[in-house]
Structure 1
Amino acid sequence: MLDAICKIDLQPDMTYSVFKFQVLNDAEIERLRQHLFCPVCDGKAYFRKASKDGKAACFGSRYHQLDCAEFKPSASRQREEQDATEVNQLITESDALKIDFSRSPSTAKAKPSSPQTAVLDKKAQSNNALELPNQIAEPQSQYLDDKRAHQPDQRIGSQGLEKLLNSLLRGSDLASSDLWVYTDDKYRWRAKNLFVNFVDAEPTDNGSPRMYWGTLSHSDKAMLWLNPADSKDVGIPIDSFKGALQQRFGIEDRRDLEGAGIIIFGKCFWNKDKTRKIIQLWNRDVTRMHLSKADD
Protein backbone atom coordinates (compact mmCIF):
# COMPACT_ATOMS: atom_id res chain seq x y z
CA MET A 1 0.00 0.00 0.00
CA LEU A 2 1.32 3.40 -0.96
CA ASP A 3 -1.42 5.33 0.86
CA ALA A 4 -3.34 5.08 4.13
CA ILE A 5 -6.10 7.10 5.74
CA CYS A 6 -5.56 8.41 9.26
CA LYS A 7 -8.77 8.56 11.31
CA ILE A 8 -8.75 10.30 14.67
CA ASP A 9 -11.93 11.13 16.58
CA LEU A 10 -13.14 14.72 16.19
CA GLN A 11 -10.58 15.39 13.45
CA PRO A 12 -11.04 15.27 9.67
CA ASP A 13 -9.69 12.17 7.98
CA MET A 14 -6.23 12.64 6.47
CA THR A 15 -4.75 10.63 3.60
CA TYR A 16 -1.00 10.05 3.77
CA SER A 17 1.28 8.68 1.12
CA VAL A 18 3.98 6.43 2.53
CA PHE A 19 6.54 8.95 1.28
CA LYS A 20 4.88 11.75 3.24
CA PHE A 21 4.30 9.64 6.34
CA GLN A 22 7.85 8.32 6.66
CA VAL A 23 9.37 11.82 6.83
CA LEU A 24 7.23 12.89 9.78
CA ASN A 25 9.15 13.24 13.02
CA ASP A 26 9.24 10.19 15.29
CA ALA A 27 6.76 11.63 17.80
CA GLU A 28 4.18 12.31 15.09
CA ILE A 29 4.59 8.83 13.60
CA GLU A 30 4.06 7.27 17.04
CA ARG A 31 0.95 9.41 17.55
CA LEU A 32 -0.66 8.53 14.24
CA ARG A 33 0.34 4.96 13.49
CA GLN A 34 -2.47 3.32 15.48
CA HIS A 35 -5.09 5.27 13.52
CA LEU A 36 -4.32 4.04 9.99
CA PHE A 37 -6.79 2.35 7.62
CA CYS A 38 -6.81 1.02 4.07
CA PRO A 39 -8.12 3.75 1.72
CA VAL A 40 -10.11 1.19 -0.30
CA CYS A 41 -11.73 -1.29 2.11
CA ASP A 42 -11.20 0.55 5.43
CA GLY A 43 -9.34 -2.39 6.97
CA LYS A 44 -7.07 -1.62 9.92
CA ALA A 45 -3.59 -0.81 8.57
CA TYR A 46 -0.04 -0.59 9.89
CA PHE A 47 3.12 1.34 8.98
CA ARG A 48 6.55 -0.28 8.68
CA LYS A 49 9.66 1.84 8.61
CA ALA A 50 12.45 1.27 6.11
CA SER A 51 14.71 -1.59 7.17
CA LYS A 52 18.46 -1.62 7.66
CA ASP A 53 18.88 -4.07 4.78
CA GLY A 54 17.22 -1.80 2.23
CA LYS A 55 13.52 -2.71 2.38
CA ALA A 56 11.41 0.38 1.72
CA ALA A 57 8.94 1.89 4.17
CA CYS A 58 5.39 0.72 3.50
CA PHE A 59 1.79 0.61 4.67
CA GLY A 60 0.09 -2.76 4.98
CA SER A 61 -2.99 -4.47 6.38
CA ARG A 62 -3.89 -7.95 7.56
CA TYR A 63 -7.59 -7.05 7.37
CA HIS A 64 -8.19 -6.36 3.68
CA GLN A 65 -11.52 -7.44 2.22
CA LEU A 66 -11.08 -10.13 -0.41
CA ASP A 67 -12.34 -7.81 -3.16
CA CYS A 68 -10.12 -4.91 -2.06
CA ALA A 69 -7.95 -3.56 -4.86
CA GLU A 70 -5.07 -3.27 -2.39
CA PHE A 71 -5.30 -6.94 -1.41
CA LYS A 72 -2.42 -9.00 -2.77
CA PRO A 73 -2.63 -12.67 -1.77
CA SER A 74 0.62 -13.94 -0.30
CA ALA A 75 1.95 -17.34 0.71
CA SER A 76 1.38 -16.48 4.37
CA ARG A 77 -2.19 -15.36 3.66
CA GLN A 78 -2.91 -18.65 1.91
CA ARG A 79 -1.36 -20.56 4.82
CA GLU A 80 -3.52 -18.64 7.30
CA GLU A 81 -6.68 -19.45 5.33
CA GLN A 82 -5.71 -23.14 5.21
CA ASP A 83 -5.15 -23.08 8.98
CA ALA A 84 -8.57 -21.47 9.49
CA THR A 85 -10.16 -24.29 7.46
CA GLU A 86 -8.24 -26.90 9.45
CA VAL A 87 -9.25 -25.41 12.80
CA ASN A 88 -12.90 -25.12 11.74
CA GLN A 89 -12.79 -28.80 10.77
CA LEU A 90 -11.28 -29.65 14.15
CA ILE A 91 -14.08 -27.73 15.90
CA THR A 92 -16.66 -29.72 13.94
CA GLU A 93 -15.12 -33.14 14.47
CA SER A 94 -13.75 -32.91 18.05
CA ASP A 95 -15.26 -32.84 21.51
CA ALA A 96 -12.33 -30.84 22.85
CA LEU A 97 -9.02 -29.28 21.88
CA LYS A 98 -5.75 -29.35 23.77
CA ILE A 99 -3.29 -26.52 23.10
CA ASP A 100 0.20 -27.88 22.42
CA PHE A 101 2.50 -25.15 23.73
CA SER A 102 5.57 -27.25 22.90
CA ARG A 103 5.33 -26.74 19.13
CA SER A 104 8.08 -24.48 17.78
CA PRO A 105 7.38 -21.64 15.32
CA SER A 106 7.69 -22.86 11.74
CA THR A 107 8.66 -19.60 10.05
CA ALA A 108 11.06 -17.91 12.46
CA LYS A 109 14.60 -17.27 11.30
CA ALA A 110 15.96 -17.39 14.80
CA LYS A 111 19.41 -16.18 15.60
CA PRO A 112 21.36 -17.69 18.51
CA SER A 113 21.44 -15.61 21.63
CA SER A 114 24.69 -14.84 23.36
CA PRO A 115 25.44 -16.47 26.73
CA GLN A 116 25.25 -12.99 28.26
CA THR A 117 21.74 -12.42 26.86
CA ALA A 118 20.56 -15.78 28.15
CA VAL A 119 21.91 -15.06 31.62
CA LEU A 120 20.30 -11.61 31.70
CA ASP A 121 16.93 -13.02 30.60
CA LYS A 122 17.00 -15.70 33.30
CA LYS A 123 18.05 -13.18 35.93
CA ALA A 124 15.29 -10.78 34.91
CA GLN A 125 12.66 -13.51 35.03
CA SER A 126 13.83 -14.62 38.46
CA ASN A 127 13.90 -11.08 39.88
CA ASN A 128 10.50 -10.15 38.46
CA ALA A 129 8.91 -13.34 39.74
CA LEU A 130 10.07 -12.41 43.24
CA GLU A 131 8.90 -8.81 42.95
CA LEU A 132 5.45 -9.54 41.50
CA PRO A 133 4.24 -12.80 43.06
CA ASN A 134 0.60 -11.73 43.14
CA GLN A 135 0.60 -10.71 39.49
CA ILE A 136 2.42 -13.67 38.01
CA ALA A 137 2.67 -16.72 40.26
CA GLU A 138 -1.07 -17.29 40.59
CA PRO A 139 -2.09 -20.67 42.07
CA GLN A 140 -3.86 -22.67 39.38
CA SER A 141 -6.95 -23.03 41.52
CA GLN A 142 -7.49 -19.25 41.39
CA TYR A 143 -7.58 -18.84 37.62
CA LEU A 144 -9.49 -21.84 36.29
CA ASP A 145 -12.94 -21.51 34.78
CA ASP A 146 -13.50 -25.25 34.81
CA LYS A 147 -11.78 -28.23 36.41
CA ARG A 148 -12.47 -31.61 34.88
CA ALA A 149 -10.82 -34.93 34.11
CA HIS A 150 -10.75 -36.23 30.52
CA GLN A 151 -13.64 -38.47 29.61
CA PRO A 152 -12.41 -41.75 28.07
CA ASP A 153 -14.71 -41.46 25.03
CA GLN A 154 -13.86 -37.85 24.19
CA ARG A 155 -12.36 -36.99 20.80
CA ILE A 156 -9.63 -34.54 21.80
CA GLY A 157 -7.71 -32.77 19.05
CA SER A 158 -4.37 -31.03 19.49
CA GLN A 159 -3.08 -27.84 17.92
CA GLY A 160 -0.23 -25.38 18.40
CA LEU A 161 -0.49 -21.64 18.90
CA GLU A 162 0.72 -20.81 15.38
CA LYS A 163 -2.25 -22.39 13.61
CA LEU A 164 -4.68 -21.17 16.25
CA LEU A 165 -3.49 -17.58 15.73
CA ASN A 166 -3.57 -17.89 11.94
CA SER A 167 -7.12 -19.21 12.10
CA LEU A 168 -8.28 -16.39 14.36
CA LEU A 169 -6.73 -13.77 12.06
CA ARG A 170 -8.61 -15.32 9.13
CA GLY A 171 -11.96 -15.46 10.91
CA SER A 172 -12.29 -19.07 12.06
CA ASP A 173 -15.14 -19.99 14.41
CA LEU A 174 -12.77 -20.62 17.31
CA ALA A 175 -13.36 -17.36 19.22
CA SER A 176 -17.15 -17.93 19.27
CA SER A 177 -17.13 -21.70 19.74
CA ASP A 178 -18.45 -23.71 22.69
CA LEU A 179 -15.63 -26.23 22.19
CA TRP A 180 -13.78 -27.21 25.35
CA VAL A 181 -10.13 -26.13 25.17
CA TYR A 182 -7.54 -27.63 27.52
CA THR A 183 -4.58 -25.44 28.50
CA ASP A 184 -2.96 -28.42 30.21
CA ASP A 185 -3.91 -32.02 31.07
CA LYS A 186 -6.46 -31.09 33.74
CA TYR A 187 -8.05 -27.72 33.06
CA ARG A 188 -10.40 -26.63 30.34
CA TRP A 189 -12.31 -23.56 29.18
CA ARG A 190 -15.00 -22.85 26.64
CA ALA A 191 -13.22 -21.45 23.58
CA LYS A 192 -15.52 -18.41 23.49
CA ASN A 193 -14.42 -17.54 27.05
CA LEU A 194 -10.72 -18.26 26.51
CA PHE A 195 -9.86 -16.47 23.24
CA VAL A 196 -10.16 -12.69 23.60
CA ASN A 197 -9.28 -10.10 20.98
CA PHE A 198 -7.28 -7.15 22.31
CA VAL A 199 -10.17 -4.79 21.63
CA ASP A 200 -12.27 -6.76 24.15
CA ALA A 201 -9.55 -7.21 26.79
CA GLU A 202 -10.65 -6.38 30.33
CA PRO A 203 -8.99 -7.10 33.70
CA THR A 204 -10.46 -10.25 35.24
CA ASP A 205 -11.82 -10.23 38.78
CA ASN A 206 -9.72 -13.15 40.02
CA GLY A 207 -6.62 -12.58 37.88
CA SER A 208 -7.45 -15.51 35.62
CA PRO A 209 -5.57 -15.66 32.30
CA ARG A 210 -6.96 -15.66 28.77
CA MET A 211 -5.56 -16.23 25.28
CA TYR A 212 -5.36 -12.64 24.02
CA TRP A 213 -4.86 -12.18 20.29
CA GLY A 214 -4.80 -9.64 17.46
CA THR A 215 -2.17 -7.65 15.63
CA LEU A 216 0.57 -5.27 16.74
CA SER A 217 0.95 -1.67 15.70
CA HIS A 218 4.51 -1.15 16.95
CA SER A 219 6.84 -1.34 19.93
CA ASP A 220 8.56 1.42 21.83
CA LYS A 221 12.06 2.41 20.66
CA ALA A 222 13.80 0.12 23.16
CA MET A 223 11.45 -2.79 22.35
CA LEU A 224 10.34 -3.12 25.95
CA TRP A 225 6.60 -2.78 25.23
CA LEU A 226 4.32 -4.05 22.47
CA ASN A 227 1.34 -1.95 21.40
CA PRO A 228 -1.65 -3.80 19.88
CA ALA A 229 -3.22 -2.23 16.81
CA ASP A 230 -6.68 -3.33 17.92
CA SER A 231 -6.75 -1.34 21.17
CA LYS A 232 -4.96 1.86 22.09
CA ASP A 233 -5.25 1.42 25.87
CA VAL A 234 -3.54 -2.00 26.06
CA GLY A 235 0.19 -2.64 26.47
CA ILE A 236 2.28 -5.83 26.63
CA PRO A 237 5.56 -5.59 28.60
CA ILE A 238 8.35 -7.78 27.19
CA ASP A 239 11.44 -6.35 28.92
CA SER A 240 11.99 -9.41 31.14
CA PHE A 241 11.98 -11.90 28.25
CA LYS A 242 12.98 -9.70 25.29
CA GLY A 243 16.05 -11.78 24.40
CA ALA A 244 14.11 -15.06 24.44
CA LEU A 245 11.35 -13.53 22.30
CA GLN A 246 13.84 -12.21 19.75
CA GLN A 247 15.57 -15.57 19.49
CA ARG A 248 12.38 -17.64 19.22
CA PHE A 249 10.68 -15.49 16.57
CA GLY A 250 13.69 -14.10 14.69
CA ILE A 251 13.11 -10.48 15.75
CA GLU A 252 16.02 -8.24 14.82
CA ASP A 253 14.56 -4.73 15.07
CA ARG A 254 11.31 -2.82 15.64
CA ARG A 255 10.26 -3.23 12.03
CA ASP A 256 9.80 -6.97 12.53
CA LEU A 257 7.08 -6.25 15.10
CA GLU A 258 5.12 -3.72 13.04
CA GLY A 259 1.94 -5.35 11.74
CA ALA A 260 2.75 -8.73 13.31
CA GLY A 261 0.01 -11.08 14.48
CA ILE A 262 0.24 -12.20 18.09
CA ILE A 263 -1.45 -14.54 20.55
CA ILE A 264 -0.44 -14.55 24.21
CA PHE A 265 -1.58 -16.55 27.24
CA GLY A 266 -1.55 -14.06 30.07
CA LYS A 267 -3.42 -12.04 32.63
CA CYS A 268 -4.88 -8.58 32.12
CA PHE A 269 -4.80 -5.97 34.87
CA TRP A 270 -4.86 -2.19 35.25
CA ASN A 271 -1.72 -0.13 35.72
CA LYS A 272 -1.39 1.83 38.94
CA ASP A 273 -3.28 4.87 37.61
CA LYS A 274 -5.94 2.76 35.85
CA THR A 275 -5.20 4.49 32.56
CA ARG A 276 -3.82 1.49 30.69
CA LYS A 277 -4.55 -2.22 30.67
CA ILE A 278 -1.49 -4.46 30.95
CA ILE A 279 -1.34 -7.98 29.53
CA GLN A 280 1.41 -9.93 31.26
CA LEU A 281 2.69 -13.15 29.68
CA TRP A 282 1.95 -16.02 32.06
CA ASN A 283 5.13 -16.91 33.98
CA ARG A 284 7.04 -14.98 31.28
CA ASP A 285 7.25 -18.23 29.32
CA VAL A 286 7.66 -17.45 25.60
CA THR A 287 6.28 -20.87 24.64
CA ARG A 288 2.94 -19.48 25.84
CA MET A 289 2.80 -16.99 22.98
CA HIS A 290 3.22 -16.89 19.22
CA LEU A 291 4.20 -14.01 16.99
CA SER A 292 3.72 -13.97 13.21
CA LYS A 293 5.64 -11.28 11.32
CA ALA A 294 3.88 -9.40 8.54
CA ASP A 295 4.88 -9.92 4.92
CA ASP A 296 7.18 -7.34 3.36
Structure 2
Amino acid sequence: MDNAFCTINNQTYSAYQFSQLDIATISQLRRFLECPTCHAPAFFRKAARNGQAACFGARPHNDECIESAPLSRLINGENDDEDVLHNDGQRIVLDLNYGAAEAVNHIDDDMNENGAGRGVRFRGNGNRPNAVVHRRLSTILRSLIINPAFRFSEQMIEVGTINQTISEFFVPFNEINQNCIGRICGYWGQIVDIGAGQDGTIWLNSGGREDVSLCLPTTIQQRFFDRFRINMVEDLVGSYILYLGDLRVSQNNKYYIVIDELTFVTCY
Protein backbone atom coordinates (compact mmCIF):
# COMPACT_ATOMS: atom_id res chain seq x y z
CA MET A 1 0.00 0.00 0.00
CA ASP A 2 1.55 3.29 -1.08
CA ASN A 3 -0.53 5.71 1.01
CA ALA A 4 -1.97 5.82 4.50
CA PHE A 5 -4.21 8.29 6.30
CA CYS A 6 -3.19 9.50 9.77
CA THR A 7 -6.17 10.14 12.03
CA ILE A 8 -4.21 12.19 14.55
CA ASN A 9 -3.50 15.03 12.10
CA ASN A 10 -5.90 14.21 9.21
CA GLN A 11 -3.05 13.96 6.73
CA THR A 12 -2.41 11.43 3.97
CA TYR A 13 1.19 10.28 3.63
CA SER A 14 3.00 8.31 0.97
CA ALA A 15 5.29 5.64 2.39
CA TYR A 16 8.31 7.63 1.24
CA GLN A 17 7.09 10.85 2.87
CA PHE A 18 6.35 9.03 6.10
CA SER A 19 9.79 7.40 6.11
CA GLN A 20 11.42 10.87 5.95
CA LEU A 21 9.83 12.03 9.22
CA ASP A 22 12.04 12.10 12.29
CA ILE A 23 12.16 9.02 14.50
CA ALA A 24 9.99 10.50 17.26
CA THR A 25 7.26 11.55 14.83
CA ILE A 26 7.23 8.15 13.13
CA SER A 27 6.89 6.46 16.52
CA GLN A 28 3.99 8.73 17.44
CA LEU A 29 2.02 8.67 14.19
CA ARG A 30 2.43 5.03 13.15
CA ARG A 31 -0.17 3.97 15.72
CA PHE A 32 -2.83 6.18 14.12
CA LEU A 33 -2.64 5.02 10.49
CA GLU A 34 -5.46 3.60 8.40
CA CYS A 35 -6.13 2.67 4.78
CA PRO A 36 -7.31 5.82 2.95
CA THR A 37 -9.91 3.79 1.04
CA CYS A 38 -11.45 1.22 3.39
CA HIS A 39 -10.22 2.78 6.69
CA ALA A 40 -8.89 -0.50 8.00
CA PRO A 41 -6.11 -0.11 10.60
CA ALA A 42 -2.75 0.23 8.87
CA PHE A 43 0.90 -0.19 9.78
CA PHE A 44 4.18 1.23 8.50
CA ARG A 45 6.91 -1.11 7.30
CA LYS A 46 10.40 0.39 7.22
CA ALA A 47 12.85 0.15 4.31
CA ALA A 48 14.97 -3.01 4.23
CA ARG A 49 18.69 -3.32 3.66
CA ASN A 50 18.05 -5.52 0.61
CA GLY A 51 16.52 -2.64 -1.34
CA GLN A 52 12.83 -3.14 -0.52
CA ALA A 53 11.30 0.31 -0.13
CA ALA A 54 9.27 1.49 2.83
CA CYS A 55 5.57 0.70 2.53
CA PHE A 56 2.24 0.60 4.36
CA GLY A 57 -0.01 -2.38 4.98
CA ALA A 58 -3.43 -2.94 6.52
CA ARG A 59 -4.53 -5.38 9.23
CA PRO A 60 -6.28 -6.47 6.98
CA HIS A 61 -8.06 -4.49 4.25
CA ASN A 62 -11.81 -4.78 4.04
CA ASP A 63 -13.18 -7.09 1.36
CA GLU A 64 -12.53 -5.92 -2.21
CA CYS A 65 -10.54 -2.85 -1.13
CA ILE A 66 -8.58 -1.61 -4.16
CA GLU A 67 -5.56 -0.85 -1.98
CA SER A 68 -5.14 -4.48 -1.00
CA ALA A 69 -1.87 -6.14 -2.05
CA PRO A 70 -0.35 -9.56 -1.36
CA LEU A 71 1.76 -9.73 1.76
CA SER A 72 4.60 -10.99 -0.43
CA ARG A 73 5.07 -7.39 -1.55
CA LEU A 74 5.96 -6.44 2.01
CA ILE A 75 9.34 -7.08 3.51
CA ASN A 76 9.80 -9.64 6.26
CA GLY A 77 12.79 -8.19 8.03
CA GLU A 78 13.00 -5.16 10.27
CA ASN A 79 15.70 -2.56 10.60
CA ASP A 80 15.97 0.46 12.85
CA ASP A 81 14.42 3.84 12.16
CA GLU A 82 17.86 5.38 11.84
CA ASP A 83 18.41 3.33 8.68
CA VAL A 84 15.12 4.59 7.19
CA LEU A 85 16.03 8.20 7.79
CA HIS A 86 19.36 7.86 5.98
CA ASN A 87 17.99 5.82 3.09
CA ASP A 88 16.66 8.87 1.27
CA GLY A 89 17.20 7.73 -2.31
CA GLN A 90 13.93 5.85 -2.81
CA ARG A 91 12.92 5.99 -6.45
CA ILE A 92 9.83 4.74 -8.22
CA VAL A 93 10.15 2.66 -11.37
CA LEU A 94 6.93 2.84 -13.37
CA ASP A 95 6.45 -0.69 -14.65
CA LEU A 96 4.14 -0.55 -17.66
CA ASN A 97 4.17 -4.32 -17.87
CA TYR A 98 3.79 -5.01 -14.15
CA GLY A 99 3.81 -8.68 -13.28
CA ALA A 100 5.97 -9.87 -16.16
CA ALA A 101 9.40 -11.22 -15.29
CA GLU A 102 11.27 -8.01 -14.67
CA ALA A 103 10.12 -6.49 -17.95
CA VAL A 104 10.71 -2.80 -18.46
CA ASN A 105 9.08 -0.74 -21.19
CA HIS A 106 11.10 1.95 -22.91
CA ILE A 107 9.35 4.98 -24.36
CA ASP A 108 10.97 6.72 -27.30
CA ASP A 109 10.68 10.41 -28.13
CA ASP A 110 7.59 9.88 -30.27
CA MET A 111 5.84 7.45 -27.91
CA ASN A 112 5.39 5.05 -30.83
CA GLU A 113 7.24 2.00 -29.56
CA ASN A 114 6.92 -0.06 -26.44
CA GLY A 115 10.22 -1.81 -25.86
CA ALA A 116 10.54 -5.09 -24.05
CA GLY A 117 14.05 -4.90 -22.68
CA ARG A 118 15.11 -6.78 -19.62
CA GLY A 119 15.00 -4.64 -16.51
CA VAL A 120 17.48 -4.93 -13.66
CA ARG A 121 16.23 -5.04 -10.09
CA PHE A 122 18.61 -4.46 -7.22
CA ARG A 123 20.32 -7.50 -5.74
CA GLY A 124 21.89 -6.98 -2.32
CA ASN A 125 25.66 -7.24 -2.12
CA GLY A 126 26.42 -6.13 1.40
CA ASN A 127 25.93 -2.37 1.10
CA ARG A 128 22.67 -0.64 1.88
CA PRO A 129 21.13 0.40 -1.47
CA ASN A 130 18.87 3.28 -2.24
CA ALA A 131 15.37 1.87 -2.03
CA VAL A 132 13.57 1.20 -5.31
CA VAL A 133 9.89 0.46 -5.70
CA HIS A 134 8.10 -0.76 -8.85
CA ARG A 135 4.56 0.52 -9.38
CA ARG A 136 1.70 0.10 -11.82
CA LEU A 137 0.28 3.05 -13.72
CA SER A 138 -3.05 2.55 -11.91
CA THR A 139 -1.34 2.75 -8.52
CA ILE A 140 0.30 6.03 -9.48
CA LEU A 141 -3.05 7.50 -10.56
CA ARG A 142 -4.65 6.57 -7.23
CA SER A 143 -1.79 8.23 -5.37
CA LEU A 144 -2.16 11.41 -7.44
CA ILE A 145 -5.88 11.51 -6.65
CA ILE A 146 -5.94 10.75 -2.93
CA ASN A 147 -2.62 12.23 -1.79
CA PRO A 148 -2.16 15.93 -2.67
CA ALA A 149 1.39 15.96 -1.29
CA PHE A 150 2.38 13.19 -3.70
CA ARG A 151 1.70 15.48 -6.67
CA PHE A 152 4.40 17.91 -5.52
CA SER A 153 6.95 15.30 -4.47
CA GLU A 154 10.61 15.67 -5.45
CA GLN A 155 10.91 11.88 -5.36
CA MET A 156 12.36 10.52 -8.59
CA ILE A 157 10.32 8.41 -11.00
CA GLU A 158 11.75 6.36 -13.85
CA VAL A 159 9.62 5.81 -16.97
CA GLY A 160 11.67 3.95 -19.55
CA THR A 161 14.60 6.26 -20.29
CA ILE A 162 12.92 9.24 -18.61
CA ASN A 163 14.05 10.19 -15.09
CA GLN A 164 12.25 13.14 -13.52
CA THR A 165 10.70 14.14 -10.23
CA ILE A 166 7.05 13.31 -9.69
CA SER A 167 6.19 17.01 -9.62
CA GLU A 168 7.88 17.52 -13.01
CA PHE A 169 6.58 14.48 -14.85
CA PHE A 170 2.91 14.38 -13.83
CA VAL A 171 0.87 17.34 -15.05
CA PRO A 172 -2.78 17.78 -13.98
CA PHE A 173 -5.15 18.90 -16.72
CA ASN A 174 -5.79 22.28 -15.08
CA GLU A 175 -2.06 23.12 -15.13
CA ILE A 176 -1.46 22.39 -18.81
CA ASN A 177 -0.07 25.38 -20.71
CA GLN A 178 1.93 26.18 -23.85
CA ASN A 179 5.15 25.11 -22.17
CA CYS A 180 3.80 21.54 -22.19
CA ILE A 181 3.36 21.36 -25.97
CA GLY A 182 5.40 18.46 -27.34
CA ARG A 183 6.49 17.32 -23.88
CA ILE A 184 6.12 13.67 -22.90
CA CYS A 185 4.48 13.72 -19.49
CA GLY A 186 1.92 11.91 -17.41
CA TYR A 187 -1.16 14.03 -18.05
CA TRP A 188 -4.03 13.32 -15.68
CA GLY A 189 -7.33 14.60 -14.40
CA GLN A 190 -11.08 14.11 -14.42
CA ILE A 191 -13.34 13.56 -17.42
CA VAL A 192 -16.35 15.84 -17.21
CA ASP A 193 -17.89 15.52 -20.67
CA ILE A 194 -17.91 13.27 -23.75
CA GLY A 195 -17.89 14.47 -27.34
CA ALA A 196 -17.97 12.72 -30.71
CA GLY A 197 -16.46 13.66 -34.06
CA GLN A 198 -18.04 13.05 -37.45
CA ASP A 199 -15.42 10.39 -38.17
CA GLY A 200 -16.41 8.40 -35.06
CA THR A 201 -13.60 9.73 -32.89
CA ILE A 202 -14.53 10.04 -29.21
CA TRP A 203 -13.35 13.09 -27.27
CA LEU A 204 -12.88 12.88 -23.51
CA ASN A 205 -13.19 16.47 -22.34
CA SER A 206 -11.74 17.81 -19.10
CA GLY A 207 -13.75 21.04 -19.00
CA GLY A 208 -14.66 23.92 -21.30
CA ARG A 209 -13.45 24.71 -24.80
CA GLU A 210 -10.19 26.13 -23.42
CA ASP A 211 -9.36 22.94 -21.52
CA VAL A 212 -7.53 19.89 -22.80
CA SER A 213 -9.38 17.01 -24.46
CA LEU A 214 -8.23 13.45 -25.03
CA CYS A 215 -8.83 11.89 -28.43
CA LEU A 216 -9.85 8.23 -28.57
CA PRO A 217 -9.53 7.10 -32.21
CA THR A 218 -11.92 4.52 -33.65
CA THR A 219 -9.07 2.02 -34.07
CA ILE A 220 -8.55 1.70 -30.32
CA GLN A 221 -12.02 2.29 -28.90
CA GLN A 222 -13.22 -1.31 -28.54
CA ARG A 223 -9.98 -2.46 -26.94
CA PHE A 224 -10.15 0.52 -24.59
CA PHE A 225 -13.73 -0.35 -23.59
CA ASP A 226 -12.87 -4.00 -23.09
CA ARG A 227 -9.83 -3.26 -20.98
CA PHE A 228 -11.65 -0.93 -18.62
CA ARG A 229 -14.96 -2.86 -18.72
CA ILE A 230 -16.96 0.05 -20.12
CA ASN A 231 -20.40 -0.65 -21.55
CA MET A 232 -21.22 2.92 -22.60
CA VAL A 233 -18.79 5.75 -23.21
CA GLU A 234 -20.88 7.93 -20.87
CA ASP A 235 -19.72 5.66 -18.05
CA LEU A 236 -16.40 7.52 -18.24
CA VAL A 237 -17.91 10.83 -17.10
CA GLY A 238 -16.60 11.57 -13.62
CA SER A 239 -13.71 9.13 -13.97
CA TYR A 240 -10.06 10.04 -13.62
CA ILE A 241 -7.65 9.22 -16.40
CA LEU A 242 -3.85 9.22 -16.71
CA TYR A 243 -2.04 9.03 -20.03
CA LEU A 244 1.66 9.05 -20.80
CA GLY A 245 2.07 10.98 -24.01
CA ASP A 246 2.76 14.31 -25.65
CA LEU A 247 0.56 17.39 -25.63
CA ARG A 248 -0.52 18.74 -29.01
CA VAL A 249 -2.26 21.92 -30.14
CA SER A 250 -4.76 22.24 -32.99
CA GLN A 251 -4.99 24.98 -35.60
CA ASN A 252 -7.66 26.51 -33.39
CA ASN A 253 -5.22 26.58 -30.44
CA LYS A 254 -7.04 23.75 -28.71
CA TYR A 255 -4.91 21.52 -26.48
CA TYR A 256 -5.40 17.81 -27.07
CA ILE A 257 -3.81 14.42 -26.39
CA VAL A 258 -4.21 11.36 -28.63
CA ILE A 259 -4.62 8.03 -26.84
CA ASP A 260 -3.04 5.67 -29.33
CA GLU A 261 -1.42 3.10 -27.03
CA LEU A 262 -3.31 1.22 -24.29
CA THR A 263 -0.11 0.47 -22.39
CA PHE A 264 0.21 4.15 -21.51
CA VAL A 265 -3.31 4.79 -20.15
CA THR A 266 -5.26 3.96 -17.02
CA CYS A 267 -8.65 5.01 -15.67
CA TYR A 268 -10.02 5.21 -12.14
| TM-score, scaled relative to structure 1 | 0.49
The separation in 1 between residues aligned to 2:159 and 2:112, in whole angstroms, is 16
SS at 2:141 equivalent: helix
Residue 285 of structure 1 is matched in structure 2 by 261
What whole-Å deviation, never above 9, does each CA across 1:72-94 have from its counterpart, x for those lacking one? xxxxx826999xx999958x976
Q: Is the 8 A contact 1:97 1:182 kept in 2?
A: yes
In the TM superposition, residue 254 of structure 1 has moved relative to its aligned partner by: 2.4
Conserved 8 A contact 2:96-2:264: yes
Cα offsets for 1:237-289 (capped at 9, x unmatched): 01142122111101111221110111111111211121x101233xx211211
The question of 1:99 aligning with 2:58 is answered no
Residue number in structure 1 paired with 2:73: none
What amino acid is the match of 2:94?
Answer: I
Match of 1:241 among 220, 225, 230: 220
Q: What amino acid maps onto 1:191 in structure 2?
A: I
Secondary structure in 2 aligned to 1:188? strand
Residue 188 (str. 1) matches residue 147 (str. 2): no
The answer to whether 1:273 aligns with 2:232 is no
Asked whether the 8 Å contact 1:266–1:279 carries over to 2, the reply is yes
Residue type at the aligned position of 1:195:
F
Give 5+ residue unaligned stretches, structure 1: 1-76, 105-133, 141-148
The 1:159/1:251 distance shift into structure 2, 3 A limit, reads same
- The residue correspondences of 1:88-127 to structure 2 (distance < 5 A) are 95-103=90-98
| CA distance 1:183–1:241, change in 2 (3 Å) | same
After superposition, the Cα gap between the structure-2 partners of 1:195 and 1:88, relative to the gap in structure 1 and judged at 3 Å, is farther
Q: Which runs of structure 2 are paired with 1:41-60 in the superposition (5 Å)?
A: none
Q: After the TM superposition, which residues 142-181 of structure 1 pair with which residues of structure 2 at under 5 Å, given as runs?
A: 153-181=129-157
Going from structure 1 to structure 2, the CA distance change for 1:272 and 1:223 (only over 3 Å counts) comes to closer
Could you list the runs of 4 or more consecutive aligned residues of structure 1 that deviate by over 6 angstroms after TM superposition? 85-88, 149-152
Alpha-carbon spacing, 1:216–1:94, altered in 2? closer, same or farther (3 Å): farther
Q: Does 1:78 align with 2:37?
A: yes
Is contact 2:92–2:158 with CA below 8 Å preserved after alignment? yes
Q: Is the 8 A contact 2:173 2:211 kept in 1?
A: no
| 2:203/2:214 contact within 8 Å kept | yes
CA separation in 2, counterparts of 1:159 and 1:197?
A: 19
> Do the aligned partners of 1:217 and 1:259 also contact (CA within 8 Å) in 2?
yes
Q: CA deviation at 1:176?
A: 0.4
Identity %: 17
RMSD of aligned alpha carbons: 4.0
Structure 2, unaligned stretches of length 5 or more?
A: 1-35, 46-52, 57-84, 100-108, 124-128
Deviation by residue 1:145-182 (Cα, 9 ceiling, x = unmatched):
xxxx9998331111111121112111342210111100
User: Per the alignment, in what secondary structure is the counterpart of residue 37 of structure 2?
Assistant: helix
Q: Secondary structure at the match of 1:242?
A: helix
Greater relative CO (CA pairs within 8 A, separation 6+): 1
Q: 2: distance between equivalents of 1:88 and 1:214?
A: 27
Could you tell me which of 215, 232, 243 is aligned with 1:264? Answer: 243
The structure-2 alpha-carbon separation of the partners of 1:223 and 1:272, relative to structure 1 and needing over 3 Å to count, comes to closer
Asked if structure 2 preserves the Cα contact closer than 8 Å seen for 1:88 and 1:174, the reply is: no
When normalised by structure 2's length, the TM-score is 0.54
Structure 1 distance, partners of 2:136, 2:208, is 23
Could you say which residue in structure 1 is the equivalent of 2:191?
A: 216
**Contact 2:181-2:249 at 8 Å conserved across structures:** no
Q: Distance in 1 between matches of 2:240 and 2:192?
A: 10
